[in-house]
Structure 1
Amino acid sequence: MTRIKADLCIIGAGSAGLSIAAGAAQMGANVVLIEGHKMGGDCLNYGCIPSKALIASAKHAHSGIDNPAYGVAEVRPQVDYSAAKDHVHRVIDAIAPVDSQDRFEALGCTVIRDHARFISETEVQAGDTIIAARRFVVATGSRPFVPPIDGLDDVIVHTNETIFDLRDKPDHLLVIGGGPIGMEMAQAHRRLGCKVTVIEGAKAMGKDDPELAAIVLDKLRAEGVEIVEDAQASRVSGSDGAITVYTPKGEFTGSHLLVAVGRAANVDGLGLEIGNVAHDRKGLKVDASLRSTTNKRVYAAGDVAGGLQFTHVAGYHGGQLVRSLMFALPAKARTDHLPWATYTDPELAHVGLTEAQARKKHGQKLTVVRSEYAHNDRANTELRTTGLIKVMVVGGKPVGASIVGHLAAELIGMWAMAIANRLKMTAISNTVLPYPTYMELNKRAAGAYFSPKLFESDMVKRIVGLVQRWIP
């Protein structure tokens, strides 16, 4: 048995763990990084990267269908599903060196490729190595949650951890779960030539602004995705190539089944009880500084911290913890400025409070302003006029923004910056942007906030009248 000491021991080499390890090691800390599976974690291997790569293939497959509107002949693509998966894995391979063991060892980290578990409040064991560290960060991420549906154990079930290795194109993909992962994969597979049925126990995209979500769902249905809501799956039967899902809305049979109903924090097997680290099924119990409520040597970052489960949130946690652990500076993790996006076509993105949340919290103090894609010149040139921006404003400052439409995930960045830095709407309206761009949608939304104050105010009109009479 080998024993080593470290300033910082990080369990998990996903987005959060890698961010912390890179920062801490380059600042001179003695860092041990432990990973029992793949370097890069879920995002690189099973999540953000492969899903967006497959979505890119699907967009190219779909693009020729709309050609006549642009004066170009329609092109019906010949989809090679296996080749699309080759594209997915080439993208993973291209990014993998950035997250590799070699890179982090070159940065000065001791990388141990084994599963870790606490053996005391101050020690972790990984394989035949015991690490005693001044501080620990648990960044083990999450995994797909597979619900206890009767019969599910008797059929082949795909999750995001297996769907990207599937080489044979499904004839009919059944998707249980109408959240972001389910809807992204549903549209991508439909565009790649599969029949697709989404089965959702409540409302599809139910956590999003309902007005904006309806625009996305209408587009998916128009492309041929069958979306069945209020259809809780009660039982599954069949065999490979013929799987049936039973719901109160009827029975649905397809060739393949994808389950995308949520995530579960990876806390099993970590010996958290031995380490005196309080936790539940959502992850570690931590305070606002991401520090364990029961073992002050231990911190959590990313999905296992029990909050929003996004790669960029994990990266944000990493930055906060580097500040805290390296410099002993106070660093509390905020949530009000964290954006998220669903990469359907059209995209849907949020930051801060939704309209419903803002109305509940701020009541009459709230002003909601809108900007329609149909009024944007760049959107008109590209026939991308379906979509809108909503901005929730209180006291002249945005407290939330929701966008549905082309490039929504890019456009939300301006509002994320404004909310993170507590900027006023004037910061957006004063910004000069190149013309024509989609970014002007954001400025138009800011203008919509000030327009009533300028153009519908009797006081402003009286002042302008006096100025015009008295100034030569």
Structure 2
Amino acid sequence: MKRIKTDILVIGAGSGGLSVAAGASQMGAKVVLLEGHKMGGDCLNYGCVPSKALIASGKAAYGQRHSDVYGVADTDGAADYAAAMEHVHDVIAQIEPMDSQERFEGFGVDVIREFGHFISDSEVQAGDTVITARRIVIATGSSPLVPPIDGIDTVPYLTNETLWDLREKPDHLLIIGGGPIGMEMAQAHIRLGSKVTVIEGAKAFGKDDPEMAEVVLKKLRAEGIEIAEDAKAAKIDGADGRVTVHAEDGRSFTGTHLLVAVGRKTNMESLGLDAAGVETTRSGVKVDSSLRTSNRRVYAIGDAAGGLQFTHVAGYHAGVIIRSMLFGLPSKAMTSHIPWVTYTDPELAQVGLTEAQAHDAHGTALEVIRFPYNHNDRAIAERKTTGLIKVMVVKGRPVGASIAGYQAGELINLWALVLANKMKMSQVAAMVSPYPTIGEVNKRVAGAYFSPRLFESDLVKRVVGLVQRFIP
């Protein structure tokens, strides 16, 4: 048995683990990184990267069929599904070198391509190697959750891990789950020529602001996606090429392919956490505000920490624990400034509190400020006028922002900055935004906050009157 001693051991080479390994090694720490599967983790290989690439293919096909509004003749926009999937894998291949074993070995990281499990509070075994570490980081991510629906083990089904192996376009894709993954793949596939039915046990986009979600759902339905809500799957039957999902209320849905997209589960079963004295919860590894586990030597970040499951959260967590592990400084993870985006068309973006959450937290002190896309000149020029931004403001400071519309994922960046730095609406209003841009939506909603204070104020009008009378 080979033995290694190191300063930091990182288990998992996804977004969070790679960020810790790269940062810590380049700042002088000795780092060992374990990865028993693919470098880059879920985001590169099965999640963010391939899904956005397929969405781009769908967008291109849809654009060809809907170009006459710009004075350009429509075409049939026929998609070659196999070629679209090859595009997906080419995109992955272009990004792969950034997450490669060779690149991280170049940083001085000792990369071991094995799964690891704890054998004590400070030791992890990976294959024939035992690593003893001063600090250990669990960055094992998550996997698709497959619910125990009656009959699901008797039919072929896809998850976000196996979808990318397809080369033949599904004639009729059934999707169980109306969250971000399900809805993104629904729109991508209908634009590529499949018939699509989404089966959601509660409400589609259930974690988002209902008003903003409805903006997106209306567009998805208009494109032909059948979205069945309050349709909890009770039983599945069929065979290859014909699968039927039966809902508890008696409805049934039949298609050629089934995609299960109901959520994710933390990868922690094989880690031997009991041997390390690391406690868990139903959602993941139990951590405190500093992302430390019940074993003070061990941290958990990203999906493994059981909170928000986004690649950018894992990267943020990496920065939090590097401050603690390398410099011994207090560092805590927060969620109030974390944005998220669903990359449908139109996009759906959120940071901070939704309107309902802000009402619960702040009551009558809350002001909700709105600005519609159809008053933005660039949106009009681009024919992208479907959308809305609303900002939740308490005593001049934003506490949340919700956007449904074109480039919502880009627009939310500003509000993430505002919330992270506890900025005021006056600071957003002071920004000069170039004309004409979609980004003016952010400037204009700040202006909408101040408009009644300036234009409907008797005091302001009296002051202006006095100035005009007495100051030459």
TM tier, smaller: over 0.9
Q: Distance in 1 between matches of 2:419 and 2:252?
A: 46
Q: Distance in 2 between matches of 1:252 and 1:262?
A: 21
- 1:60 matched to which residue of 2? 60
- 2:469 matched to which residue of 1? 469
Offset at residue 249 of structure 1 (A): 4.8
Is residue 170 of structure 2 the alignment partner of residue 160 of structure 1? Answer: no
- 1:11 matched to which residue of 2? 11
8 A Cα contact 1:8 1:134, kept in partner:
yes
Offset at residue 336 of structure 1 (A): 0.1
* Structure 1 residues without counterparts, runs of 5 or longer: none
Inter-CA distance 383–113: structure 2 relative to 1 (3 Å threshold)? same
* Structure 2 residues without counterparts, runs of 5 or longer: none
Offset at residue 280 of structure 1 (A): 2.5
CA RMSD after TM alignment: 0.6
Is residue 130 of structure 2 the alignment partner of residue 130 of structure 1? Answer: yes
- 1:278 matched to which residue of 2? 279
- 1:416 matched to which residue of 2? 416
Q: Distance in 1 between matches of 2:67 and 2:122?
A: 63
Q: Distance in 2 between matches of 1:152 and 1:281?
A: 23
Instruction: Indicate the SS of the match to 2:174.
Output: strand
| Residue correspondence of structure 1 range 199-210 to structure 2 within 5 A | 199-210=199-210
Q: Distance in 1 between matches of 2:460 and 2:431?
A: 23
| Residue correspondence of structure 1 range 199-278 to structure 2 within 5 A | 199-247=199-247, 248-278=249-279
Is residue 382 of structure 2 the alignment partner of residue 379 of structure 1? Answer: no
8 A Cα contact 1:370 1:390, kept in partner:
yes
- 2:173 matched to which residue of 1? 173
Moved more, 300-309 or 70-79: 70-79
CA-to-aligned-CA distance 1:367-386 (integer Å, 9 cap, x gap): 10011100000000011000
Offset at residue 193 of structure 1 (A): 0.0
| TM-score, length-scaled by structure 1 | 0.99
Q: Distance in 1 between matches of 2:313 and 2:210?
A: 24
- 1:407 matched to which residue of 2? 407
| Residue correspondence of structure 1 range 320-335 to structure 2 within 5 A | 320-335=320-335
Offset at residue 78 of structure 1 (A): 1.9
| TM-score, length-scaled by structure 2 | 0.99
8 A Cα contact 1:265 1:281, kept in partner:
no
Offset at residue 306 of structure 1 (A): 1.1
Q: Distance in 2 between matches of 1:72 and 1:167?
A: 31
Offset at residue 350 of structure 1 (A): 0.2
Offset at residue 66 of structure 1 (A): 1.7
- 2:319 matched to which residue of 1? 319
- Letter of the 1:414 partner, please give it: L
Instruction: Indicate the SS of the match to 1:322.
Output: helix
Instruction: Indicate the SS of the match to 1:284.
Output: coil
Q: Distance in 2 between matches of 1:130 and 1:155?
A: 41
- Letter of the 1:280 partner, please give it: T
Instruction: Indicate the SS of the match to 1:401.
Output: strand
- Letter of the 1:253 partner, please give it: T
8 A Cα contact 2:78 2:193, kept in partner:
no
| Residue correspondence of structure 1 range 103-122 to structure 2 within 5 A | 103-122=103-122
CA-to-aligned-CA distance 1:66-117 (integer Å, 9 cap, x gap): 2111111111112100000000000000000100000111100000101100
8 A Cα contact 1:122 1:275, kept in partner:
yes
CA-to-aligned-CA distance 1:302-346 (integer Å, 9 cap, x gap): 001111000000000011111111111111001000000000000
CA-to-aligned-CA distance 1:129-157 (integer Å, 9 cap, x gap): 00000000000000010000000001111
Offset at residue 426 of structure 1 (A): 1.1
CA-to-aligned-CA distance 1:24-76 (integer Å, 9 cap, x gap): 00001000000111000000000000000000000001002221111111111
Q: Distance in 2 between matches of 1:78 and 1:63?
A: 11
Q: Distance in 2 between matches of 1:182 and 1:135?
A: 37
- Letter of the 2:83 partner, please give it: A
- Letter of the 1:330 partner, please give it: P
- 1:100 matched to which residue of 2? 100
8 A Cα contact 2:392 2:399, kept in partner:
yes
Q: Distance in 2 between matches of 1:96 and 1:328?
A: 33
Instruction: Indicate the SS of the match to 1:253.
Output: strand
Is residue 350 of structure 2 the alignment partner of residue 347 of structure 1? Answer: no
Q: Distance in 2 between matches of 1:208 and 1:319?
A: 27
Q: Distance in 2 between matches of 1:99 and 1:465?
A: 64
Runs of 4+ in 1 over 6 A off after TM superposition: none
Instruction: Indicate the SS of the match to 1:25.
Output: helix
Is residue 426 of structure 2 the alignment partner of residue 433 of structure 1? Answer: no
Offset at residue 12 of structure 1 (A): 0.3
Paired residues, number? 471
